[in-house]
């Protein structure tokens, strides 16, 4: 029997909350500490380290499936782009953005996999090509789809 409460909450802490740095809104350094108010563990992980995120997610999954309740994972990372398409990021220092881009999680994982000889350059190229095609197809589908009826906004909404 699968336990009822198999929820893993993931907080992508990307330094900014809208156009303000998170520390302008709260004195709490780690959002994960807020999990204790709900009697569940809160775990902080480097969100730019895919293997570390995988590890803590796997542990949280095992915990949930054992019937031990939910977990809150706080993945610390950085938002390279604005809060929305109209956001020109005037509040984000360019050198800060550049420094975080140097810590790209995809590049980091690729380098680790290649270094450990777990994947080839050819296989990585194939994955990237397939991912780009999937995104292109999804964008095309969205752009070619009709707008939903306004009443659909209330479907599957429960209070």
For residues 63 and 69, is the Cβ–Cβ distance under 8 A?
A: yes
10 token code pair: 């993931």
The span from the CA of 29 to the CA of 13, in Å, is 11
Is beta strand 8-13 parallel, antiparallel or unpaired with respect to 71-76? parallel
The span from the CA of 57 to the CA of 63, in Å, is 10
The catalytic site residues sit at: 79, 83, 91
């Amino acid at each position: 029997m699968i336990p009822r409460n198999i929820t893993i909450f993931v907080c992508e802490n990307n330094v900014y909350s809208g156009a303000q740095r998170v520390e302008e809104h709260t004195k709490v350094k780690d959002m994960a500490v807020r999990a204790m108010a709900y009697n569940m563990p809160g775990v902080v992980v480097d969100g730019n380290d895919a293997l570390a995120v995988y590890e803590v997610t796997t542990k949280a999954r095992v915990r949930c499936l054992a019937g031990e309740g939910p977990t809150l994972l706080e993945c610390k990372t950085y938002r390279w782009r604005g809060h929305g398409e109209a956001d020109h990021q005037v509040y984000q220092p360019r050198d800060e953005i550049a420094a975080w881009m140097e810590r790209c999680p995809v590049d980091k994982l690729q380098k680790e996999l290649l270094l450990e000889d777990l994947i080839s350059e050819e296989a990585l190229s194939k994955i990237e090509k397939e991912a780009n095609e999937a995104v292109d197809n999804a964008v095309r589908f969205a752009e070619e789809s009709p707008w939903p009826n306004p009443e659909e906004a209330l479907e599957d909404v429960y209070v």
